[in-house]
Chain A
Amino acid sequence: MWSWGSVIGETRAVDIRSLSAGPLRAYQHQDCGSMTFLEKYKDEIADILSRYPVMRSALIPLLYVAQRDQGYVTESAMQEIAHLLRLTPPQVYETITFYTMFNLKPVGKFHIQVCKSLMCALVGSDTVIEWIKVKLGIAPGESTADGLFSLSVVECLAACGTGPMMQINEDYYEQLTEGKLDRILADLRSTGTSPLKSGPFMWPEPVTGKG
């Protein structure tokens, strides 16, 4: 399989799949008994399948379930899904490798994705990436030794008016400043979540008298 990274041979260091597994394995592989993926999420999977007249449509939603389970999509989960949807394993693999949001290798507990597209770059996303690199001591594509944080540099996340911004796992953090970044990282370390994450999006906020 040829990779575009090899053509240009550098900074698309976005590919989290090339992460070394090492220290991450320890906490990622939580014990889920001998239960297979399909048994564990039987009801949810049945619900997903009921939405589509053609089974293959359920592939991406099922891969999300698998990713939620382990933090990345395991080979055995892919095989189970292939079997369930009556697809060949390569059909599952060709699909999963097209989409950037699926991890085929473990990532840190908090996967930081900073947008570097033009609109965020105009308002300082490169500086944010530098801050994170220094604060966590990792480059894009790497994880911290404790397995807590992984850093990726990604393309547009549809928050151009409130940049610079980043996504950590499922949450958006917008209008970043260094102080805000420090607090977010501290919050994540101590409580696993941060109140600074974005709620339902609205910008600019409604004018309430003060103009």
Chain B
Amino acid sequence: MPKHELILLKNMMQPGYTGSLTDYEKTGGYQALRNTLGKIAPADVTTIVRKSGLRGRGGAGFPTGVKWGFLPKDYQGPRYLCCNADESEPGTFKDRQLMERDPHQVLEGIVLACYAIGSETAYIYIRGEMVLGSKILEQAIGEARVAGYIGKNILGTGINVDVWVHRGAGAYICGEETALLESLEGKRGLPRIKPPFPATHGLYNKPTVVNNVETLANLPHIITRGPEWFAAIGSPPKSTGTRVFCVSGHVKRPGNYEVPMGMTVRELVYEYAGGMRSDKPMKAFIPGGASAPFLTPAHLDVKLDFEHVAAAGSMLGSGGVTVMEEGTSMVWAALRLMEFFYHESCGKCSPCREGSSWLVQTMRRISAKRGRMEDLETLLDLCKNIAGRTVCAFGDAEVAPIQSTLKHWRQEYVDLINEAETANLIRPEPVGRP
């Protein structure tokens, strides 16, 4: 079926591929590491990655090579690499597959990144629920350690890199890089105020890089095949490479599909994911995980890359594409996501902590046909006062479902409220804490 070359999912698509060290080596695994350590200067590795145009696959899409370049050059103490495997964005399930099916690909990327930034310790912060994933990674680390790819004096080059798996414990916010660092330090996962950025004051106040699993898994391929090769894939110059899109919702074949960036949503949903599961047409989709604003079928020809999705009023985020068919209540869908954000708000910033609760209450009232017309203004007013007023991007994320559904499907809200009025069911309720 694929009309293009797979990069990250290529190995695991081979029949019988188990993800063991021998299997990975057979496919050319750890060659990039052999050809890099001690042979290419760390600064040149960073330059290669910068030239490739690789951008972070976790959500923010920050250029990876540039991020590495922010580390202080003359700092003598330890530096750290954290692999963000928290994968908690609803709609996203790609890292789980990358780690459980081809763990060595991720590990090779981690060691390469450590070499580039001069770090001797890497922590894989994996979400706590993925027990199987953490076991698979630990086993793979053991294999790599015996083979001399991880540990002291890697391949006789005198370079040391130790990799540890650290399980989170069920907090969505720990996918935010500074919250992840707090959590890794054994504290509540509350995001830090930035600046200072992790590049200078990260884990234990030391220079730190936090990269997503998928970002790191791309590194061996970029090193082996060159930055020009990578930069030509996808939608250059700003969105290079492939993306593993996670398609979920009302489609025939949900799942992970690796495609070059710049493919249209129409192609991804109708050709790869098999189209809608029933005769009902598509009503809405989310292009980049729960934090991304909803889009309508009018946006089906939007190219899935950072710029085009942003121009359409949403974001590419973590690549979780969720499709909803005609007949799905958008008020219900927005409420479901809002409940998620309400549950996961860490409580550090008042606008988000209090606001998420007010939004859920107001949405529940509308949904239960007890809403009032002025609730719509209340919702928008709350959203305006949450977004951009919090320490981390969670505030912007939590208002996305409500703002975007109100923009595209306002009539559904109005209908529910009208029903309430005609049924004379209005029972005024105070908004806020009783």
Which residues of A pack against B, CB within 8 Å? 4, 7-9, 12, 14, 51, 53-54, 56-61, 63-64, 85, 94-95, 98-102, 116-119, 121-123, 155-163, 167, 170-172, 198-204, 206-208, 211
* B336 contacts partner chain A, Cβ-Cβ < 8 Å: yes
A58 to chain B: which residues have CB within 8 Å? 186
Which of B33-41, B148-156, B167-175, B193-201 has 4 or more CB atoms under 8 Å from chain A?
B167-175
Please tell me which one of the listed residues B12, B96, B183, B343 contacts residue A158 in the complex, with CB atoms under 8 A apart.
B96
Distance in angstroms from B97 CB to nearest chain A CB is 5
Distance in angstroms from B174 CB to nearest chain A CB is 9
Besides A94-B188, A100-B169, 12 new A-B residue pairs in contact (Cβ under 8 A), listed by A number: A8-B361, A57-B186, A60-B167, A95-B187, A101-B129, A118-B91, A122-B250, A155-B343, A156-B89, A158-B130, A172-B129, A201-B132
Does the CB pair B249–A171 fall under 8 Å?
A: no
Does the CB pair A201–B101 fall under 8 Å?
A: yes
Distance in angstroms from A85 CB to nearest chain B CB is 8
B101 to chain A: which residues have CB within 8 Å? 200-202
Does the CB pair A119–B248 fall under 8 Å?
A: yes
* B147 contacts partner chain A, Cβ-Cβ < 8 Å: no
Q: Are A98 and B248 also in contact (CB < 8 A) when A56-B185, A158-B130 are?
A: no
CA distance A156 to B1 in the complex (A): 30
Residue of B nearest to A99 (CB): B169
Closest 8 CB pairs of A and B: A99-B169, A59-B186, A56-B186, A101-B170, A160-B248, A100-B170, A200-B100, A161-B254
Please tell me which one of the listed residues A4, A160, A171, A202 contacts residue B91 in the complex, with CB atoms under 8 A apart.
A160
Residue of A nearest to B127 (CB): A158
Residue of A nearest to B2 (CB): A207
Does the CB pair A122–B328 fall under 8 Å?
A: yes
Distance in angstroms from A201 CB to nearest chain B CB is 5
CA distance A201 to B9 in the complex (A): 12
Q: Are A158 and B253 also in contact (CB < 8 A) when A60-B186, A122-B328 are?
A: no
A156 to chain B: which residues have CB within 8 Å? 88-91, 172, 290, 340
| A contacts with B: majority SS | loop
Q: Are A161 and B96 also in contact (CB < 8 A) when A7-B433, A60-B167 are?
A: no
Does the CB pair B97–A121 fall under 8 Å?
A: no
CA distance A206 to B344 in the complex (A): 35
Q: Are A158 and B92 also in contact (CB < 8 A) when A51-B164, A60-B168 are?
A: yes
Residue of A nearest to B336 (CB): A118
Distance in angstroms from B161 CB to nearest chain A CB is 14
Please tell me which one of the listed residues B15, B19, B172, B189 contacts residue A155 in the complex, with CB atoms under 8 A apart.
B172
Residue of A nearest to B13 (CB): A206
Does the CB pair A160–B320 fall under 8 Å?
A: yes
Does the CB pair A158–B129 fall under 8 Å?
A: yes
* B255 contacts partner chain A, Cβ-Cβ < 8 Å: yes
A4 to chain B: which residues have CB within 8 Å? 342, 357
Does the CB pair B360–A8 fall under 8 Å?
A: yes
Does the CB pair A155–B169 fall under 8 Å?
A: no
Please tell me which one of the listed residues B87, B130, B188 contacts residue A98 in the complex, with CB atoms under 8 A apart.
B188
* B406 contacts partner chain A, Cβ-Cβ < 8 Å: no
Please tell me which one of the listed residues A61, A85, A158, A167 contacts residue B93 in the complex, with CB atoms under 8 A apart.
A158
